[in-house]
Amino acid sequence: MGNTIKLNVMQEKPVEEDSTDENSWIFTEDKLLFHKDKIKEFQETGVTFPVAFDIDLTNLCGHRCPHCCGSRNISREDKGTNSTHQDFERLKRLLSEIKELGGRSVTYAGGGDPSLYPHFAEILRYTKSLGLDMGMYTNGHILKEECLDAMIDCCTWIRVSLDADSPEIYEIAHGMPGKVFFTVVNNIGRLIERKKVKQKNVTISTCFLIGPKTLKAAYGAAKLSRELGVDHIRIRPYFQMPGDDRTRLQIDETFKFLEKCKELETEGFKVSYPMHRVEWMDDKNRVRKYKKCYAVHFLTSITPDGNVYPCCNMKDRPVTSLGNIKEKSFKDVWYNENRKSISGKIDLRFCPNPCNYEKQVKFLWDIIESGKPVDEYCKEKGLTPPEQKGIHKNFL
C-alpha cells in the first residue's frame, strides 16, 4: 500500500514499562477478552469477522472545529451528492449482513454529524431491531424530537461533544457562534429528561477535547455535565499526528488538572481520561510497543461513499480503502485475500501516535505474537474479562 504523504516522523526510542490506566473507566483493552472466540478464530485461520463497525452516516456537519479529524471529508452544506450520505437501502443491507455474519456493535461517529443523516431515526431503529449494540457521537446541536426519541430508545451510549464551559470557549472549540453552546446544553438536558421519562439505561456522556486554548475549561464542563445529570465526561487530548504539534500539552500541568477534574466524581458521575494519550505528549514516551496492527481484523470503518477502511484514522487516505460496498457485499470485501494481509501493509508511521485504539493494538500484538493460543495466554497471565458494570463490552 503506497503512501506518498510526507510527514515529519518521530524517532522510535527504547520501550519502557506499561503504566496502568486507572482513569479509563469502561475504555479498557481487556474488553477484547469478551471476544476470545474471534481472537481464537483469527489465530487459527488468519481471519475473523469484525466485532465493531464504525459507520459514517453522513459527511455533513455545519460546525467548524479547527482540528476536526474528519475535516478533510466534511461537507459544510448538503450538496446532495452520493458521497455525502450513506445510501439508505444499501446501509440496511450492510447492517443485516453485519448481524448475520457475527458483527457485534455499530458506532455512528463521523464523518460529519450522524444526527444530520436524513434517515437518522429510522436507521437507529433498524439497527436496534437487528439486535446490534449501538453507540453514537454528536455535536448535539440539532436534535429533532423523533431523533431524540430514537437515540434514547436504541443506543447503548450517546456522547455529546461539548468541548466548552462557556460561549467564549465554544467559539474557539467549535468555530461556531457562542449562542450554539446554550442550544447544545439545552439539548443535553432534553436527552437526560427523555432518558428519565422512558426509564432507559443508555449511558449519556459529554466529551471534551483538551488543547492549549481549552484545557482549563474542562473543569467547568465537567461540573456543568454533573449538574445536567449526565453519567460521565470523557476528557481527552487531540490525536497527535506525527509532525503536527499544534495541540500538544504540557504533561505535568495537564495531569494535575485532570486529577482536579476527577475530584468532581460522585457515585453517579464519572470523569475519565486516557492516561497514555496524555503521557505520550512527552517525546520519550512516543514509542510504539508493537510492530503490526492486528486491531484492524477486529474493527473496521465505512464511509458514506461505501469505502471500507481498516480503521477510522485511515479514512482520509483513499489509498487505504479495502474495497467498496457499492460494488460488492461487505463479506466479499472482507474475505478478499488482499484485505486479509492488511496488517503487514499498514505503515504505522502514518498513524496517530498514539492512536485511539493504542491499548487494544498493543494487547492484541502481545497475544498474537506470543504464538500461544489465546486461552493458554490468558491462563498464564491470569487475564479475565473486566467486571465493571456498564462495560459496553461489544465496543472496542
Ligand X SMILES: C[S@@+](CC[C@H](N)C(=O)[O-])C[C@H]1O[C@@H](n2cnc3c(N)ncnc32)[C@H](O)[C@@H]1O
Residue ranges in contact with ligand X by CB under 6 A: 61, 67-70, 109-110, 113, 137-139, 161, 207, 209, 238-239
Residue 75 binds: one of ligand X, ligand SF4, none (C-beta under 5 to 8 A by kind):
none
6: which residues sit within 8 A by CB, 6+ positions away? none
159 binds ligand SF4, rule: CB under 6 A: no
313 binds ligand SF4, rule: CB under 6 A: yes
Q: Please, what is the minimum distance in Å from the beta carbon of residue 311 to ligand SF4?
A: 3
In our burial notation (b when 16+ CB lie closer than 10 A, e otherwise), range 252-289 reads eebbebbeebbeebeeebbbbbbbbbbbbbeeebbbbe
Binding mask 63-82 for ligand SF4 (x = CB under 6 A): x-x--x-x------------
* CA distances (Å), origin 29, targets 34, 114, 273, 274, 330: 10, 26, 14, 12, 26
- Residue matched to cell numbers 466485532: 51
280 binds ligand SF4, rule: CB under 6 A: no
Q: Which of these ranges, 179-187, 226-234, 253-261, 309-317, lies near ligand SF4 under the rule CB under 6 A?
A: 309-317
Residue 239 binds: one of ligand SF4, ligand X, none (C-beta under 5 to 8 A by kind):
ligand X
- Compare residues 257 and 357 and give the one whose CB is closer to ligand SF4: 357
Which ranges of 241-349 would DSSP assign to H, the alpha helix? 251-262, 275-279, 330-334, 337-340
Residue 305 binds: one of ligand SF4, ligand X, none (C-beta under 5 to 8 A by kind):
none
- Compare residues 269 and 396 and give the one whose CB is closer to ligand SF4: 396
d(CA 203, CA 230): 8
Of the candidates 122, 55, 115, 112, the one whose C-alpha atom is nearest the C-alpha of residue 79 is 112
Residue 238 binds: one of ligand X, ligand SF4, none (C-beta under 5 to 8 A by kind):
ligand X
Length of the chain: 396
- Compare residues 159 and 194 and give the one whose CB is closer to ligand X: 159
355 binds ligand SF4, rule: CB under 6 A: yes
Phi first, then psi: give them for residue 391, nearest 5 degrees: -70, -15
Write the burial class of residue 291 (CB in 10 Å: 0-12 exposed, 13-18 middle, 19+ buried). Answer: exposed
d(CA 177, CA 184): 12
Residues near ligand SF4 (CB under 6 A): 61, 63, 65, 68, 70, 110, 112-113, 139, 161, 174, 293, 295-296, 310-311, 313, 346, 348, 351-352, 355, 357, 361
